[in-house]
């Protein structure tokens, strides 16, 4: 009898631990993004080189999971990740900027090379870069190309890996400013890893009027267009209307001299 009670106790304890584990794993927040909206403001096209496979820049989900003092960030894509340039982390062509709004104020300008701004009340406070480049290279680029005031708000994970369809990294919660990540606002920009970026660009790939072998198409040959293929939009639920919401956010207008008359303005997405 006592043995049976003991067994039951062990089973209940195990179940409790499992539930607790599950509860811990569920701490965080998840967003979905519609498939097939990897076209920026609606008409962007992929580069023509074969390494840019269909769906490579089509974000379908973004997950934030809190495990104690660590935060796991994962961005999922429609296409399986590949590492054709042998970057070593399981992916090559993608690069992701994750913007976090977790306190009043913040920065309105996106990182150099993205050509986006953030709407009033939607400024970012922290930015996490998921890049296949070595963290040291990303850090150097940030130091060289981002305004000094923004640099301290950039978080570069020690390890970023691609596996299956998901690029993921873990950062310290303290690095993000502490608090409850499930209450924060987020924006995620899908860009492409460019090892030889143009002068001021932060490892980002250009969008031109016409796609080239290693350039996106559908934009302009100047920098008035957002160099962004996919973002979170709407409520981050993956519904069809979020495609239009994305296109609306990424609308832009250029001056005749190629400067931005109306840049793309992004909003945070919050659960």
Partner 1 sequence: MRSFRGFAIGLLAAAAALAAVPVFAADGQTLLITGEDYTKWLWGNQHTDGSVYNFTTVPGEGYGDNGQGTEIDLYLFSKPARNVEVQGRLQSRFNQNQWTNYGGFGGRNPALENPPGGDCIGGDCGEFDPRSNEYIKMRGLTARYTPGFKFLDAVTIGSTDLGMFDAFTIGKIRYIDRDNAKAVLAQGSLFGRKLGYDLIRVSLPRLFAGPNFSTGNYTGQDSDYGLQLKFAPTPLFDSVLVWERARDLEVDTFDRNFDNGRDVADRFKNDVYGLRFGIHPGAKVDFRGTYYHSEAQSDPRFGAPASFFGISGFSPVPAGKLDDPAWKANVDLNDPFGVGLSFNLEYFNIGAQYVSILAARREDDVLLTEGHDSTWVFPGPDNSAFGVFPGNPTRIGYGGWQGNAQQVATISVDNEFTDFEEPMAETVIGWKGFTVDPTWSIGDLSLTAEYSKIDYNTNWQAWGDPTRAILDSIYPNHESDAGIGSFRNAYAPFQDKSTDIYLIKGKYLLNVAKGVDVFGKIKYIDETDKRMNNARFLPYKPGDCPGGGAACHNNVNTYFNGFSTADLYGNPPVITVNGVTGYQWKPFDSLSDDDEDMNYKMFQLGGGYQFTGNFYSSLTYEHYDVDLKDGNTAFQAYQLHNMASGKHSKNKAMLYARYTFGGAEFGMNYEYNWGTFDPDFGGGFVTQFADADTAHNFGVPVGSPGFRGRFGGWNSLLNRDFKQNRMKVFMKIRF
What is the torsional sign of CA 241, 242, 243, 249?
Answer: positive
Q: Cβ contacts of residue 159 below 8 Å, gap of 6+?
A: 89, 169, 170
* 22 part of the interface to partner 1, by CB under 8 A: no
Closest CA to 135 of 203, 199, 71: 203
Separation between Cα atoms, residue 56 and residue 38, nearest integer Å: 9
Separation between Cα atoms, residue 225 and residue 115, nearest integer Å: 6
Find the DSSP H helices in the chain: 2-26, 135-145, 148-151, 241-249
Size of interface with partner 1, in residues (CB under 8 A)? 39
Among 108, 165, 270, 271, binds partner 1 (CB under 8 A): 165
Separation between Cα atoms, residue 36 and residue 61, nearest integer Å: 12
Q: How far is the CB of 83 from partner 1 (least distance, A)?
A: 11
* 210 part of the interface to partner 1, by CB under 8 A: yes
What is the torsional sign of CA 245, 192, 263, 143?
Answer: positive
* 136 part of the interface to partner 1, by CB under 8 A: yes
* 164 part of the interface to partner 1, by CB under 8 A: yes
Nearer to partner 1, 169 or 250 (CB): 169
Among 28, 29, 40, 60, binds partner 1 (CB under 8 A): 60
Q: Are 80 and 57 in contact (CB under 8 A)?
A: no
Bridge partners, 260 (sequence order): 254
**Piece in contact with partner 1 (CB under 8 A), picked from 117-125, 153-161, 183-191, 245-253:** 153-161
* 213 part of the interface to partner 1, by CB under 8 A: yes
Among 7, 26, 140, 255, binds partner 1 (CB under 8 A): 140
* 54 part of the interface to partner 1, by CB under 8 A: yes
How many CB atoms neighbour CB 153 within 10 A? 17
Nearer to partner 1, 33 or 123 (CB): 33
Among 4, 22, 158, 256, binds partner 1 (CB under 8 A): 158
Tell me the Cα Rg of the chain: 20
Among 194, 201, 211, 230, binds partner 1 (CB under 8 A): 211
CA neighbours within 13 Å on the CB side: how many for 103? 9
Closest CA to 250 of 20, 34, 38, 100: 38
* 247 part of the interface to partner 1, by CB under 8 A: no
Among 30, 170, 239, 244, binds partner 1 (CB under 8 A): 170
Chain residues 66-85 in contact with partner 1, contact rule CB under 8 A: 78, 80
* 166 part of the interface to partner 1, by CB under 8 A: yes
Interface contacts to partner 1, rule CB under 8 A: 35-36, 48-51, 54, 60, 78, 80, 86, 88, 90, 134-137, 139-140, 156, 158-159, 161, 163-166, 170, 196, 198-199, 208-213, 217, 221
């Amino acid at each position: 009898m006592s043995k049976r009670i003991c067994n039951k106790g062990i089973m209940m304890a195990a179940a409790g631990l499992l539930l607790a584990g599950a509860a811990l794993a569920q701490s965080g927040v998840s967003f979905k993004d519609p498939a097939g909206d990897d076209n920026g403001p609606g008409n962007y096209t992929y580069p023509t080189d074969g390494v840019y496979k269909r769906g490579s820049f089509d974000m379908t989900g973004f997950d934030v999971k809190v495990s104690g003092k660590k935060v796991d960030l994962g961005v999922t894509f429609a296409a399986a990740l590949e590492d054709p340039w042998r970057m070593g982390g399981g992916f090559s062509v993608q690069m992701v900027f994750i913007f976090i709004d977790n306190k009043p104020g913040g920065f309105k300008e996106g990182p150099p090379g993205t050509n986006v701004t953030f709407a009033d009340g939607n400024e970012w406070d922290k930015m996490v870069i998921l890049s296949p480049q070595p963290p040291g290279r990303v850090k150097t680029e940030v130091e060289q190309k981002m305004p000094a005031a923004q640099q301290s708000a950039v978080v570069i994970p020690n390890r970023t890996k691609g596996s299956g369809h998901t690029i993921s990294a873990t950062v310290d919660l303290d690095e993000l400013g502490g608090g409850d990540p499930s209450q924060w606002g987020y924006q995620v920009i899908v860009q492409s890893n460019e090892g030889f970026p143009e002068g001021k660009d932060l490892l980002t790939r250009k969008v031109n009027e016409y796609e080239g072998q290693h350039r996106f198409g559908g934009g302009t040959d100047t920098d008035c267009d957002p160099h962004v293929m996919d973002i979170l939009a709407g409520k981050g639920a993956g519904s069809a209307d979020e495609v239009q919401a994305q296109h609306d956010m990424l609308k832009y207008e250029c001056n005749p001299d190629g400067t931005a008359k109306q840049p793309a303005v992004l909003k945070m997405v919050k659960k």
